[in-house]
């Protein structure tokens, strides 16, 4: 059941994904809302990308960061939902070792990228509201491109070593992953060697990403709130609040479920496993589903472009 690579470490040719432990019979029906959410996520984010690409008036930092978020959501959801649905509906539980590591890399890499993009969007709103005259000079097109590249590179550099460490480990004959996708710690639990380095590295990456990004987001919106409350005109205040509400809703959808998953995975041992796995699945699927809806409904420029797009198609 195991194979040996050139470095002497052994691993099974395939793993078996359980799906949602304890809900194996119910997960056939759970797959239907997940499939609907995935369809909304794919359609909504593709529409956002098309609109932002084709409308030159939307080639501004806010919308370029939104395009990065839409692309990230597409990759993140597609890296885990199709395989998850085959497990739920067809009972096709097997996933190759290499395929598992690839899925693990994409899921954790683009989760890190999404956090970085949300942080960049918060900085964009800070400069737009607190320093409007310098906004265009500070967040120029080269700067926006550089920020996007750095966020992508950060994800690769942080998640890549975790996959490399796993590839060098020897795995036990037990090859059942008690999860719906190849999550880092769920795979680490199948290693027969000492995994303290793997666990510590995974924890340090999560703390570093969440700590840095969430701190910058909180500081940015605290400064924004202070500036907005000092504005004399009520209509200007309302416009500034409306601009930020969409971002705050997206941030809450991503970080609340993410923090719950992170904390319960390590400290919430009294929480039933099926609850933890369900929240972990929703954590990766809910933001890609909600983001295009929130921005499409609450952002007037995007809402108007979406209406025009569907009118052209006769819908």
Dump pLDDT digits (tens) for 204-247. 888 888 889 989 999 998 888 888 877 666 666 676 677 677 77
3-state secondary structure of 96: strand
Question: What value does the mean pLDDT take over residues 273-299?
Answer: 85
pLDDT band at residue 15 under the 50/70/90 scheme: very high
More confident residue, 235 or 202: 202
Helical axes 27-54 vs 61-90, angle rounded to 10°: 160
List the structure tokens of 76.
């993140």
Query: What is the C-alpha to C-alpha distance for residues 254 and 249, in angstroms, rounded to an integer?
Result: 9
pLDDT band at residue 69 under the 50/70/90 scheme: very high
Angular region, 180: left φ>0, alpha ψ -120 to 50, beta rest: alpha
pLDDT for the residue 251:
85
Spell out a b/e string for 179-202, using b for 16 or more CB atoms within 10 Å of the CB, else e: bbbbbbebbbbbbeeebeebeebb
Of 110, 120, 114, the closest CA to residue 144 belongs to 120
Per-residue pLDDT at 314 exceeds 90: no
pLDDT for the residue 182:
92
Question: What value does the mean pLDDT take over residues 120-139?
Answer: 88
Residue 128 φ then ψ, to 5°: -65, -35
List the structure tokens of 281.
């699945």
pLDDT for the residue 313:
59
Query: What is the C-alpha to C-alpha distance for residues 189 and 172, in angstroms, rounded to an integer?
Result: 10
Q: Tokens 């994800």: give the residue.
A: 155
Kindly report the pTM of this predicted structure.
0.89
| Mean pLDDT rounded to a whole number for the chain | 85
pLDDT for the residue 2:
46
Query: What is the C-alpha to C-alpha distance for residues 144 and 111, in angstroms, rounded to an integer?
Result: 20
Please state the separation of Cα 225 from the chain's center in Å.
Answer: 26
Please state the separation of Cα 230 from the chain's center in Å.
Answer: 34
Q: What angle do CA 146, 148, 149 make, to 5 degrees?
A: 65
pLDDT for the residue 279:
85
pLDDT band at residue 168 under the 50/70/90 scheme: confident
Dump pLDDT digits (tens) for 269-285. 677 888 888 888 988 89
pLDDT for the residue 236:
63
pLDDT for the residue 133:
86
Helical axes 234-266 vs 273-298, angle rounded to 10°: 160
Query: What is the C-alpha to C-alpha distance for residues 3 and 101, in angstroms, rounded to an integer?
Result: 16
Q: Tokens 């500070």: give the residue.
A: 138
pLDDT for the residue 46:
94
More confident residue, 63 or 308: 63
Dump pLDDT digits (tens) for 104-128. 999 999 999 999 999 999 999 889 8
């Amino acid at each position: 059941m195991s194979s040996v690579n050139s470095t002497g470490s052994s691993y099974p040719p395939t793993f078996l994904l359980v799906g949602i432990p304890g809900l194996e019979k119910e997960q056939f029906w759970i797959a239907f809302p997940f499939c609907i959410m995935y369809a909304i996520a794919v359609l909504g984010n593709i529409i956002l990308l098309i609109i932002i690409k084709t409308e030159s008036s939307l080639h501004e930092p806010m919308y370029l960061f939104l395009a990065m978020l839409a692309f990230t959501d597409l990759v993140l959801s597609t890296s885990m939902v199709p395989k998850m649905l085959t497990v739920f509906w067809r009972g096709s539980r097997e996933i190759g070792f290499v395929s598992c590591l690839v899925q693990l890399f994409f899921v954790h890499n683009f989760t890190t990228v999404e956090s970085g993009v949300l942080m960049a969007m918060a900085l964009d709103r800070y400069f737009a509201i607190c320093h409007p005259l310098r906004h265009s000079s500070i967040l120029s097109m080269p700067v926006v491109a550089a920020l996007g590249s750095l966020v992508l590179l950060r994800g690769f550099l942080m998640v890549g070593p975790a996959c490399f460490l796993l590839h060098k480990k020897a795995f036990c004959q037990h090859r059942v992953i008690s999860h719906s996708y190849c999550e880092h710690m769920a795979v680490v639990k199948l290693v027969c060697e000492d995994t303290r380095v793997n666990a510590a590295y995974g924890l340090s990456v999560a703390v570093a990403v969440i700590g840095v990004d969430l701190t910058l987001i909180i500081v940015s919106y605290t400064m924004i709130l202070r500036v907005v409350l000092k504005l004399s005109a009520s209509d200007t205040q309302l416009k500034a609040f409306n601009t930020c509400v969409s971002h705050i809703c997206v941030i809450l959808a991503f970080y609340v479920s993410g923090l719950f998953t992170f904390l319960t995975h390590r400290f919430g041992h009294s929480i039933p496993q099926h609850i933890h796995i369900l929240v972990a699945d929703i954590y990766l699927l809910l933001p890609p589903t909600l983001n295009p809806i929130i921005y499409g409904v609450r952002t007037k420029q995007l809402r108007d472009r979406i209406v025009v797009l569907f009118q052209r198609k006769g819908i």
